[in-house]
Amino acid sequence: MTDLRTHLRGLWLPLITPFRNGELDEVSLRRLVRHYGSLPIDGMILAATTGEGLTLAPDETARLVTIVRDEVSGIREELPVCLGLSGSDTRELLDTLERTAGWPIDGYLISCPYYSRPTQTGMIRHFSALADQATHPVMIYNIPYRTGVNLGNDAMLQLAEHPNIAGLKDCCAIRAQSIELQRKRPARFAVLSGEDAHTYDALVDGADGAILASAHIETDAFASVIQLLTSGNHDAALRRWQTVSHLTKLLFSEPSPAPIKHWLWRTGLIDSPELRLPMTEVSPELAMQLDREIAARANAAATATAAAHSRSH
């Protein structure tokens, strides 16, 4: 287990949840964790939006966490693992926090209440109550286009003073709001971008890192963008970003995580691209686009390897 506050930076992966024949695919899950645990990610989020957390039964979520922690412990003991939670009933979420208090996780990513569209005061009280109860630190997930409500900066800055609220996954999609928050936030409050297509801009504006579903693909490249920007090498970071930026659009051209699951299935990381309703697999048209992109990247990698081998001889 790690201190989440010292790890909220860099590249975080909101891990997909593999299914097969309607069940949690534990074999593919272990394969995924071993794969990504060997790559330069700084943390994992489980059972959030990309992980289809709303379709998981409580016992499945418990198994998911146990399997991931088991695999992570054998690879990178210090890699933090957070659990995604969502809901519009504060009491129910408090019960969930109590039920998961002893789970082998390092923190929670909790989205703003959806559908009910509470006031800013309501959200301050909601997150304060959750943070008071939580055994592990809390990250807030502000994503208005999914929840129907935007947690504004006045409320966010009040919550940032809570000792058990460690940071934010920022998907507000309002750049001016994000920039203002970067300027006013306390030093101990981390901000990670969650807008895949706008990651580069968010990092330039001062985000501490990013939680990127797109980083299931070309993980090294996305990690290097963040590392290069952190070291001040903006020109190299931009060049690197330009090699992967179109993936952030392709992988979201139909509802996520269907395109990502198709890619991982085609490349052998998971045994099925299965999703749970109401999510469905990608259309035949997008499947063809993804397959072409996979083939093109495989050919480019093979060419680069051959060229490197030739130069070494």
Mind listing the domains of the chain with CATH numbers? 4-244 (3.20.20.70)
So what's the pLDDT on residue 107?
Answer: 97
For 8-28, letters b (16+ CB in 10 Å) and e give bbbbbbbbbbbbeeeebbeeb
Cis peptide before 278 (omega within 30 of 0): yes
Q: Please name the residue that has the structure tokens 């299935």.
A: 265
pLDDT tens-digit map of 247-283:
999 999 999 999 999 999 999 999 999 999 999 999 9
pLDDT tens-digit map of 222-243:
999 999 999 999 999 999 999 9
Residue numbers annotated as active site: 141, 169
Residue 114, judged by CB atoms within 10 A of its CB (0-12, 13-18, 19+), counts as middle
pLDDT at 311 over 80: no
Average pLDDT, the chain: 95
So what's the pLDDT on residue 313?
Answer: 66
- pTM above 0.85? yes
